Amino acid sequence: MLNPTDLVICGFDDSGQARMAAFWAADWCDRLGCQLRLMAVTGTVGTASRDTGRGRLTPAEQQGPRTAEALAALRAELARDHPELSIDSAVLRGLPADQLLEASRAGAVVVIGTRGLGPALSGLLGGVAEEVLSNASGPVVVVPSTLTQPTEHVVTLGIDPEGPSLAALRFALDIAERLRVGLRVVAAVEAGESAERAGLQLDDVVASVIDAHADLPIDQQVIRGRPHEVLARAAAGTELLVVGSRGRGGLAGRLLGSTSRKVVREARVATAVVRRPRKVSEPPGTAAT
């Protein structure tokens, strides 16, 4: 769970989407009191990299010095905008997805853009982002290219009526309290599913946390429709959308497959996909610059 000493890592590839994600991450970390690390992954010509969108190996096209210069310039720009923010940067070698997954296993919250147009993290929310979303140990926040400024001071939590993710619930509660905003808990009910049952499940979720979070405004909504459409609409204009990822069953399973891709592509707010945290050791070779 996030605390003031936790690390947020934002993948960077010198694209417009990556810059947008970095600016969002800097603002978020500043508000939450977290440390921000900008991470770029570079290789040399002839280094093999996975092209998961096409299922074959291709030569890496990363340009290390150019990426490092762009990263340093971005870090300086963010530092000017957020003088109180603890921010550093790291340029690593290897495969982008592997490095981001390693950061997640070490306990960092990973922030990525929806698409990388530059040479380093090519195809975010193609191969790299989907691999990170499917395999990360902890929370992954996807910042969309269609990001809109929040008009409601609310964190939206999408729950599975068949059994909510406790990790996602705790994450959403923590963020809402530290941002001093409300929490909107939404259950999507598809055709053939019981809205009454979903409502009872929603009541149970809220009842389980209400005593410990008595000062937190909590709004409950049961909405019939396709999960990705329901969640995107319910979260529109809010601070953050949080969805859980527990395995292959129910909405949690769908959020690792087609629904997760549709949610993060359709939502116009940053979307956090939260998995159960794992305790692992600090990864080697990640010294900051």
For 95-127, the pLDDT digits (tens) are: 888 999 999 988 899 999 875 433 333 334 457
| Domain count across the chain | 2
- Burial, 248: exposed, middle or buried (Cβ in 10 Å; 0-12, 13-18, 19+)? exposed
If asked whether residues 13 and 135 sit together in one domain, one would say yes
Q: What is the pLDDT of residues 143-155, one digit of tens each?
A: 988 898 999 999 9
Per mean pLDDT, which range of 113-117, 165-169, 235-239 is the poorest?
113-117
Residue 271 predicted with pLDDT over 50: yes
Q: Classify residue 20: in a domain, yes or no.
A: yes
In this structure, the strands spanning 87-93 and 154-159 are: unpaired
Please tell me the predicted confidence (pLDDT) of residue 103. 92
Cβ atoms of residues 68 and 60 within 8 Å: no
Are 138 and 216 part of one and the same domain?
no
Residue 210 within any structural domain of the chain = yes
pLDDT for 46 equals: 43
Asked if the model's pLDDT at residue 32 lies above 80, the reply is yes
Same domain, residue pair 137 and 161? no
Q: Is residue 211 part of a domain?
A: yes
Q: Which two tokens stand for residue 262?
A: 């549709």
49 and 128, same structural domain? yes
Asked if 129 and 74 sit in the same domain, the reply is: yes
129 shares its domain with 14: yes
Q: Give percent above pLDDT 70 in the chain.
A: 74
- Shared domain for 169 and 82, answered yes or no, is no
What is the pTM assigned to this prediction? 0.81
Residue 277 counted as domain residue: no
Domain residue limits at 24: 7-143
- Indicate the residue among 113, 143, 173 that finishes a domain: 143
In this structure, is residue 114 part of a structural domain? yes
Which CATH number goes with the domain that contains 213?
Answer: 3.40.50.620
User: Same structural domain for residues 13 and 131?
Assistant: yes
